[in-house]
Amino acid sequence: MLGSLLNRPGEASDEKTYFYRASLMGPAHRFELTDEGIVWTIGRRSGLWPYADVASVRLSYRPMAMQRKRYSAELRNRAGRRLKMFSTTKQTAALMEPQFGYPAFIATLHEKLAAAGSTAVLSAGIKPLTFNVLVAAMALLGLAMVALLIRALVTGEFAGVVFILLLSALFGWQGWDFLRRNRPRSYTFSDVPQDLLG
């Protein structure tokens, strides 16, 4: 029965059970929220994390070329071990599909943690250092594009002007969306960031 569900991952997840495939040949990642804690199974490995043992949760936006709407949740326990969940599952070598049960599962996870009196650190977005580096890189890229645009205008290369404007609009929109969603911030159990759930 489990094998048939894994072939149709979008139908198999609900607010207390979630699983996805990170790669086509890799094992399925399965998570269940029980009264005792988070039961996880990755391939032949499995375990139980009591809610009180969860030390941190980080939600982030992780787009890929094949799937722009891709989100992740990274959990760490007090022993330093990590569990990672993605909002998409690998279907074929070229197809990655969203898991529609991801938002409900992550919301229920936070409810369970809160009910257990968890003191986990809740973070959203990417780490501050990485974010600052990306902002600086985007600023430098923007200056370079402005310089190229001015040069194209001065030399009368109007086809180049159009190309630069279109390229700037495309990368500017995608870059801004990534930075906006992934800005480093903390949140509470009662205010889970909806822009990182899908």
The pTM score is 0.79
pLDDT in tens, the chain (198 residues): 333 333 444 445 668 999 888 777 778 899 999 999 999 999 899 999 999 999 999 999 988 766 678 899 999 999 999 999 999 887 765 667 778 899 999 999 999 999 999 999 999 999 999 999 988 988 888 888 888 888 878 888 878 777 777 877 777 777 788 888 999 999 999 999 999 997
Sole residue written with tokens 């870059």 = 175
Residues across the chain: 198
48: β partners: 39
DSSP conformation letters of 138-160:
HHHHHHHHHHHHHHHHHHT-HHH
CA angle, corner 70, sides to 72 and 110, nearest 5? Answer: 35
Report CA torsion sign: 110, 105, 29, 86. negative
